[in-house]
Structure 1
Amino acid sequence: METLFQSTLIQQPLKLLTWWSIAMTEASLLTTVLATVACGLLTLFLTTVLWRWHFENCRDPSSSLPLPPGSFGWPVIGETLRFLRGGNNTDYIRKRFPGCGISKTHIFGMPMIRVNSDKAIAQLVGKEPHAVFQSLPTSVKQIFGENGVSVISGKDHASMKKILREGFSPVRLSDLLPTVQACVRRHVTSWTQGTGENKMLGFKACQHLVCDLILETVVGCTRDQDPDGAIREAFVFCNDNMFCVPVDFPGTTFHKALRARQKVVDFARKRIAAAMSSEKDYVSILDVLLTHLAKPTETVTGDGAEENSTTEGSAEKASQPGSLTKVQLEDNVVTIMLAGTDTVSSALCNTLDLLGKHPDKLAALREELASQDLLDSSFIYWCTL
């Protein structure tokens, strides 16, 4: 009995000591977790305050007027996620534009003022390009290229627009008309010769049509030059992910979009090299742009030898008025290919939808085309249009 009593007296302090050690360990772990969470919340709070303070102090110092109501959102991402989740939602728009229809926000890596008032928009348009000028989100600028006509502004924009306009003159469009007709007929025929119930997604079908049409008319790319569809796939991916968070990190959508753009640029360079040679069997808008390509300038080296300096790989302006460097040519080829793809696809899809919902209008349209002998014509001439 005495031995058992002594053993019990020894075990009780050991149990008490073990329990105290476990309690201290749990308390230490809990303290560490709470301290980490507190530091994280404090850092997020301070970063958010400094983020908003920075943009509040970036306004025009000559104006005493306050910024419109709204929020710049979270650091770095701003309100991009909220915009993507409900940018076209009626309730979202109503909340973001209280009363005056003007709100500040930060989306796609850029602080901006969103305007949803006809009167305010009319005032802004009337002041362009003197008081205001066009700007695009960072992701769009990177995908278009810094020398694209949609990115540059002022005199550079006017000069570039003048050059590009030559590619869409009536003479050039008449040259491209056979290519356009062949592409449209090929796609429409494939729509009516499908399997099963001949059902398809209208917008995707129209998008593929516009994609093929742009590639063939801009750079002369037919199915033969892209048998596996890699260029068309990269083209569509760039177009679908043009508006994204501009974080160039492996795995992000922006990084994938830039890689897809590089595929399009590499292919455009091949088409430029082919167009500059005498062996080509197509007509494209690229032909017009090549007439404005700046010629290499000759410089004299120290030993008296002449050396050609090329503009390839340089983003500098061409020294000759009305001319383009190779970088400017590449960026504007990509811009022409990407700009307006979705809007044209949407317009075509809406046209198909409306014709399907109004068979009487479709019948009237067929009757009008038949009266002009255009319904069964294998080829429509430019003079007829």
Structure 2
Amino acid sequence: MGFSALVASALCTFLLPLLLFLAAVRLWDLYCASGRDPSCPLPLPPGTMGLPFFGETLQMVLQRRKFLQMKRRKYGFIYKTHLFGRPTVRVMGAENVRHILLGEHRLVSVQWPASVRTILGSGCLSNLHNGQHKHRKKVIMRAFSRDALQHYVPVIQEEVSACLAQWLGAGPCLLVYPEVKRLMFRIAMRILLGFQPRQAGPDSEQQLVEAFEEMIRNLFSLPIDVPFSGLYRGLRARNIIHAKIEENIRAKMARKEPESGYKDALQLLMEHTQGNGEQLNMQELKESATELLFGGHETTASAATSLIAFLGLHHDVLQKVRKELQVKGLLSGPNQEKQLDMEVLEQLKYTGCVIKETLRLSPPVPGGFRIALKTLELNGYQIPKGWNVIYSICDTHDVADLFTDKDEFNPDRFMSPSPEDSSRFSFIPFGGGLRSCVGKEFAKVLLKIFTVELARSCDWQLLNGPPTMKTGPIVYPVDNLPAKFIGFNGQI
């Protein structure tokens, strides 16, 4: 082969792909720049858009917290990026987030990434809009009224007590996070959907737990449905869950009256469609039930695990919780096994502050997705119509001027006056506005009962010390939080 042929071969092998890549990058930059709305004089937020098509999705998924911290340090409280196939602006800080959350249906509308919409389905509450969303939320909220919550308290207490008794006999090492997930899954199955997991058998329960974990791992994936892709695996797991839920729905339809004495959220949804003369849409019911289970156990499992971590690291706070329980007659003596109720739970102010501080430092859901309905102005920048907007919960907590010594675990900061009353968008673990979490009161009651039962029955040691937390998409400890549990001797 002659010299000229070698040169031509080298050009084809190395130079041409390089030129094509550079051309693709340049076209990508032009595409990203063309997204700016010329009718608005304000500039786009600072930031980078990453690689063609992929944007910065891979960096965000792989590095998560490190990636987001780097972006915040470099660009501040508003910056542009390209995630999950869409140009995106990420927003944090109380005032910026307030503007987004109070602009629902007027400035922005909920729009999760395509993979989330595909897996969870168009019939779930998170993906409904305007009147449909308002109507469905009103029905579901009946399952979280104060009267309904009162019915749930003994069920939650029974499940938590039984679980903690098993932990005390688990030996020198128990992996807290998977155990808490199983506990919260059983509670959500019983209360939200009327399932009786123990009657179905441990194998059936474990199959559902594993399917949920697989589905959640792949919620935020590139929107490519091919074998072995994240979206493909997520859909396959979702179908297993839907099959189990459909069995339960058909059993409910045949039974008519609930066995538990109260009506769960799924029962209320079914009655609503039948009462209005609507045709029972099985697919929408399955999607709504799946969403309730997801929201009802993944987020509470994350928060409960963080509670165990913080109380394990701050024994003085645990002792103050126990002191409050002692004052209310809940710690020792004949009232130790006293049944809790809503009135008693509402009196546990310090315990509630411990939960708030846990949610401030480690909110289970890191943020939410919206889409700009029109070009909007925010803090000196434009967000073009059609761009995605991510509001950050964790970063908003981190940067809130309202909190002093932000990295310190200090529940007393919530005692009086309550910070969220002074600036409610500085503390948003349940979101805010029209899209605030439908089950937030249920979550608060569940976490308070869990804290009470934990404090009055267990002492524990974190075997690896302070955990490293990861987001995927819910916040969880990388090491699953190994701990050793022993019985509490009743001495403060």
1-side partners of 2:321 and 2:265: how far apart? 31
Counterpart code for 2:337: S
Counterpart code for 1:227: P
- Output one character per residue of 1:332-357: Cα deviation in whole Å (capped at 9) or x when no partner: 11111112644322321222223223
1-side partners of 2:199 and 2:19: how far apart? 59
Structure 2 CA distance for partners of 1:311 and 1:366, relative to 1, 3 Å: same
Structure 2 CA distance for partners of 1:123 and 1:219, relative to 1, 3 Å: closer
Counterpart code for 1:263: I
- 2:188–2:296 CA contact under 8 A, matched in 1: no
Structure 2 CA distance for partners of 1:378 and 1:126, relative to 1, 3 Å: closer
| Partner in structure 1 of residue 259 of structure 2 | 281
| Partner in structure 1 of residue 239 of structure 2 | 262
Query: Relative contact order (C-alpha < 8 Å, sep 6+): which is higher?
Result: 2
| Partner in structure 1 of residue 411 of structure 2 | none
5+ long unaligned stretches in structure 2? 346-492
Q: Which has the higher strand share?
A: 2
Deviates more, 1:66-75 or 1:372-381: 372-381
2-side partners of 1:266 and 1:171: how far apart? 31
- 2:56–2:83 CA contact under 8 A, matched in 1: yes
- Output one character per residue of 1:24-62: Cα deviation in whole Å (capped at 9) or x when no partner: 5x9857744641444433333333333343343344453
1-side partners of 2:247 and 2:309: how far apart? 38
- Output one character per residue of 1:284-333: Cα deviation in whole Å (capped at 9) or x when no partner: 32111111124797xxxxxxxxxxxx956xxxxxxxxxxxx333222211
- Output one character per residue of 1:241-285: Cα deviation in whole Å (capped at 9) or x when no partner: 322323222112221111111111111111111111117634532
1-side partners of 2:14 and 2:105: how far apart? 49
Structure 2 CA distance for partners of 1:59 and 1:167, relative to 1, 3 Å: farther
2-side partners of 1:165 and 1:374: how far apart? 30
| Partner in structure 2 of residue 292 of structure 1 | 272
| Partner in structure 2 of residue 209 of structure 1 | 183
Structure 2 CA distance for partners of 1:84 and 1:99, relative to 1, 3 Å: closer
| Partner in structure 1 of residue 340 of structure 2 | 380
Of 299, 310, 317, the residue aligned with 1:354 is: 310
Question: Which residues in structure 2 correspond to 1:331-370 (within 5 Å)?
Answer: 331-339=287-295, 341-370=297-326
- 1:239–1:341 CA contact under 8 A, matched in 2: no
- 2:47–2:75 CA contact under 8 A, matched in 1: no
RMSD: 3.0
Give identity over the alignment, percent: 27
Deviates more, 1:114-123 or 1:261-270: 114-123
Deviates more, 1:118-127 or 1:150-159: 118-127
- Output one character per residue of 1:185-227: Cα deviation in whole Å (capped at 9) or x when no partner: 22212211113x1x23333332222222222222233133253
Q: Which is higher, the Rg of structure 1 or of structure 2?
A: 1
- 1:106–1:112 CA contact under 8 A, matched in 2: yes
| Partner in structure 1 of residue 414 of structure 2 | none
- Output one character per residue of 1:52-80: Cα deviation in whole Å (capped at 9) or x when no partner: 43343344453243322222211222101
Q: Give the TM-score normalised by the residue count of structure 2.
A: 0.61
Question: Which residues in structure 2 correspond to 1:157-236 (within 5 Å)?
Answer: 157-195=133-171, 197=172, 199-221=173-195, 222-228=197-203, 229-236=206-213
Structure 2 CA distance for partners of 1:78 and 1:365, relative to 1, 3 Å: same
- 1:293–1:326 CA contact under 8 A, matched in 2: no
- Secondary structure of the 1:291 match is helix
1-side partners of 2:98 and 2:87: how far apart? 21
Shift of residue 383 of structure 1? 5.3
Q: Give the TM-score normalised by the residue count of structure 1.
A: 0.76
- 1:311–1:326 CA contact under 8 A, matched in 2: no
1-side partners of 2:300 and 2:42: how far apart? 40
Shift of residue 94 of structure 1? 4.1
2-side partners of 1:341 and 1:101: how far apart? 31
| Partner in structure 2 of residue 319 of structure 1 | none
Structure 2 CA distance for partners of 1:247 and 1:176, relative to 1, 3 Å: same
- Secondary structure of the 1:104 match is strand
Deviates more, 1:264-273 or 1:200-209: 200-209
Deviates more, 1:336-345 or 1:266-275: 336-345
What is the total number of aligned residue pairs between the two structures?
335
1-side partners of 2:105 and 2:51: how far apart? 32
Question: Which residues in structure 2 correspond to 1:19-168 (within 5 Å)?
Answer: 23-24=1-2, 31-32=8-9, 34-60=11-37, 62-89=39-66, 93-95=69-71, 98=74, 100-168=76-144
2-side partners of 1:150 and 1:33: how far apart? 53
Structure 2 CA distance for partners of 1:112 and 1:267, relative to 1, 3 Å: same
2-side partners of 1:34 and 1:250: how far apart? 36
2-side partners of 1:220 and 1:104: how far apart? 44
- Secondary structure of the 1:62 match is coil
Deviates more, 1:96-105 or 1:80-89: 96-105
1-side partners of 2:93 and 2:343: how far apart? 43
